[in-house]
Amino acid sequence: MISHFPRATVFAALVLGMSPALAQSTADDTWTGGYVGGYAGAGFDPDDEGDRIRFDTNLDSGFDDTVRTGAGADAFSPGFCDGTARGSTPADGCNDNTAGADVGLRAGFDWQIGGFVVGLVGDYGWNEARDGVTGFSTTPASYTMLRKIDDLFAVRGRVGMAFGGGSIPDNLLYVTAGYAQASIENSFSTTNGSNTFTNTGESDADGEQYGIGYEYLANDHLAIGIEYMHTRLTDDEFRVRAQGPVPATNPFVLVNPDGTDFRRGDEDFDLDSLRLTATYRF
């Protein structure tokens, strides 16, 4: 996995590595050449609809168990919500997941072949997306698993069509897709004051990023645009273990005295973003 500092270093290497190629662009190739710049926008719709917490009561890594009370009832019969709990019961409600700002730096290189443009672009940015899921037990108590993105790195290819009303094709419509990696911060909170809880598995997450965009070449060097991007990251390592000291009849130690493990039902962290872009082209 690529940690925070090496991820930024990879982005810087992409900028420096394309420098020898910058001189290759010609006046006849409007979109051929390297560029650096950035993007700013907002993420939206980070909810994982129908997400829930899954349990492993016998610690066999199956996560297909039902936590049951001493009487055999489902201890989580009150249900689950997408978001973070406002209290101990479903009646208290849940705070919706949020996306927030999406900003970053970018560098890349394009080649124009007739009316087609192909290229490679790298992004390094920051996103305020927060994605939570909460379970409610009959105790009553709430159990919330929350994850958020610290930083996001992506390398994508892009293919587009250049066009314009005059002799210069100063418009570019493109699609883009590639690899993404983010540093994910996972956390857990609960109103359960009886059990003790330990967390493991906070790490980077890998996935894919794809979208569509439009750029306009305002002059010989400045390109401005807009793009829609979808990011999907696999975040499946975070675990929470509920343990004692509690009576042997406590639902979390009823099957295995060592406790019960939690994980999120949806292991994918999905995020949509709408961005404004600006790049300086060489």
Instruction: Kindly report, residue by residue over 4-21, the tens digit of the pLDDT.
Output: 445 545 444 444 444 444
Q: Which two tokens stand for residue 97?
A: 């997941």
Decide which of 25 and 265 is more confident: 265
Mean pLDDT rounded to a whole number for the chain: 89
Question: Over the stretch 229-254, which tens digit does the pLDDT of each residue have?
Answer: 999 999 999 999 999 999 999 999 99
- Percent of the chain topping pLDDT 70: 89
- Percent of the chain topping pLDDT 90: 78
Total domains in the chain come to: 1
**pLDDT at site 46:** 65
Indicate the pLDDT class of residue 48, thresholds 50, 70 and 90: low
Alpha-carbon distance of 251 to 68, in angstroms, equals 6
Q: Which two tokens stand for residue 67?
A: 């936590």
3-class SS string, the chain: CCCHHHHHHHHHHHHHHCHHHHCCCCCCCCCCEEEEEEEEEEEECCCCCCCCEEEECCCCCCCCECCECCCCCECCCCEEEECEECCCCHHHCEECCECCEEEEEEEEEEEEECCEEEEEEEEEEEECCEEEEEEEECCCEEEEEEEEEEEEEEEEEEEEEEECCCCCCCEEEEEEEEEEEEEEEEEEEECCCCCEEEEECCCEEEEEEEEEEEEEECCCCEEEEEEEEEEEEECCCCEEEEECCCCCCCCCCCCCCCCEEEEECCCEEEEEEEEEEEEEEC
Decide which of 100 and 213 is more confident: 213
**pLDDT at site 6:** 52
Q: What are phi and psi of 249, to 5 degrees?
A: -85, -5
Q: Which domain holds residue 275?
A: 4-281
**pLDDT at site 128:** 85
Asked whether the predicted pLDDT for residue 160 surpasses 70, the reply is yes
- Note whether 216 and 223 are within 8 A (CB): yes
Asked whether the predicted pLDDT for residue 228 surpasses 60, the reply is yes
Asked whether the predicted pLDDT for residue 24 surpasses 60, the reply is no
Indicate the pLDDT class of residue 47, thresholds 50, 70 and 90: low
